[in-house]
Amino acid sequence: MTRLRINLCTEVVRELDFRGQCAFARAAGYDGLEVAPFTLAADPTALPDRRIGELRRIADGEGIAIAGLHWLLAEPAGLSITSPDAAVSRATREAGRRLVDLCAGLGGSYLVHGSPGQRRIEPGHEKESREQALAYFAATAEAASAAGLRYVIEPLARVDTGLVNTVDEALDLIARIGSPALATMIDCYAASANDEDVPALLDRWLPTGAIFHLHFNDDDRRGPGQGGIDFAAVLKVLKSHDYAGATAVEPFVYVPDGQACAARAIGYLRGLEAAIRAGA
């Protein structure tokens, strides 16, 4: 079995400063960090080049990679890819382009677009909301392509947003834009919340090459192994298809706390990997 590259989503340990996050992730056994930009600054789209370079040097010095970004557009407040307000749409597209620049400056290779709070369909403006989202993804795809990055559209739970809930829907949107910089992924919690069987979903889509990324979290929003998803089956499917893409641990509920949850998650996943390699 190819050893998975497993990154840690930084909001899980947001109580630590950035150097502390890097040191913790390396010591716990993670391969890299998937950075939530709002943990870096009140307005991460306005970070100066000097500070971005400093953050990259901190990660390098602590021996941890910055794999990419996720949980985009949470800050500054008021952004939305679906807003019918032209000024909001312009500001959001500019923020997206700046986050692409931030990812490149930090040495990351991808951005994961989940962010349900900034992609809700506006009641009474359903058609316009979807058209605005299409325009946003087209603009960020152009920026990502120019920077040599991938922009990953994450299907989310229907309880969180009505815009892109399945891999099929993500691929349809990507086909309409037609940019090779766009990709999609599977979030274990979101798929489960949409009544999809996660191992079966992976088994369906991995052979197509459509899945660029995977978020590990359980059906109760806790860390992998703290709920009902069969992660042994998940990892066996990944092994059967020789998956070598990016993965990240992204719980939303931290039990007993962020650091303990993150440490338990990487130990649990590495233990499953070892058992599968041993033929258990």
CATH number at residue 222: 3.20.20.150
What is the predicted pLDDT for the residue at 279?
Answer: 86
Please report the beta strands in 120-249, taking only residues with DSSP state E, as ranges in sequence order: 150-153, 182-187, 211-216, 246-249
**Domain range holding 187?**
5-277
What is the predicted pLDDT for the residue at 17?
Answer: 98
What is the predicted pLDDT for the residue at 82?
Answer: 97
Could you please report the per-residue DSSP string of 10-60?
Answer: GGGGTTS-HHHHHHHHHHHT-SEEEE-GGGT-SSGGG--HHHHHHHHHHHH
What is the predicted pLDDT for the residue at 44?
Answer: 98
Q: Based on the structure, what is the number of domains in the chain?
A: 1
pLDDT beneath 50, residues of the chain: none
CA distance 188 to 251: 10
| 8 A C-beta contact, residue 6 and residue 247 | yes
What is the predicted pLDDT for the residue at 2?
Answer: 78
CA distance 100 to 145: 10
CA distance 243 to 246: 9
CA distance 69 to 151: 10
Q: Which two tokens mark 189?
A: 């919690």
What is the predicted pLDDT for the residue at 280?
Answer: 59
Q: Give the model confidence (pLDDT) of 1-33 as tens digits.
A: 679 999 999 999 999 999 999 999 999 999 999
Q: What is the pTM of this model?
A: 0.97
What is the predicted pLDDT for the residue at 1?
Answer: 61
